[in-house]
Structure 1
């Protein structure tokens, strides 16, 4: 698959050949769904917790005699039916994360990249390096390129001036190539890859294939 390379000024910077086994796959929605669910469950805090009967700081003394009171038989006031008592079967601190094989995660990322390529929402830019961190100038450039809702992936290190200028622009996310993930790709309309990010992705997938082989 061949794609036009552009610059932040909107000028042509040649063409690049995209690997069909990464950007030309028939998109499988089930893989994307599994990966999104994996990421969202892993991100859940899971810190919700209630106080159970053993966590309540009250006396354990029996407060009413067993028989003859005319009411129910009770032990102490830490039981669930009394105000201030413990709660039965309440949530406890736990991890919501589920397992997903590494090969499936890598394949889901390929399908997310292929989905953007098939929809025409994949853009390859020559470089995003900036001489100075000016948000106004970058917003104007994004407007000309029609990047109103985009995820921009740079190389192993994001250009500092570009990151500073872009962080105040709404609906624009900037990540290094190590941070690329399915959820962020799908939540933004455009996926913008620098040439260095593209090279790093191809090297990453080639390494994964060699290891699995």
Structure 2
């Protein structure tokens, strides 16, 4: 799943993370609890429609009226680029070597953690613990990416560019995607410079 640098001062924090292997990164909920939370959030048709509409309303807010699937793709790319730049700049300011690629795993319960070895792994984990807004943003970017990918996979160029009401697009996604898969957790590979690879969504 691209990047741009954004200025933001990182607020100080005193979070201390106990020593442990990053390969065994833990999330607040266990596997069964997390699965139950995911099913509760994404399994209901009405709930899924509401969450899809909420994501699409952001795109509509940018375009001011009917939107197209191409608008969804463009919005996702811009959101991902902005997030990449902001987080990459923050981590670099904290002393993390962002030229060393690393893998982030997102849990819909509200956590992001580094998986595997990285010299700045503990600092990266601490950053996301201290900045829950960044965790929510990454979740939204993953979900928007899945909406964008579903449209690009199923639709032709003309269909991608055809404007439609947000409500109609919501129904299309509800009929063509599995809500549980849409709103499940996932991972991203962050490359040199803090860039999340476009289109790379590593499912858990």
TM range (shorter): under 0.3
Q: Could you say which structure has the larger radius of gyration?
A: 1
TM (norm. structure 1) is 0.25
Higher helix share: 2
Q: TM-score, normalised by structure 2?
A: 0.26
Structure having greater relative contact order (Cα 8 Å, sep ≥ 6): 2
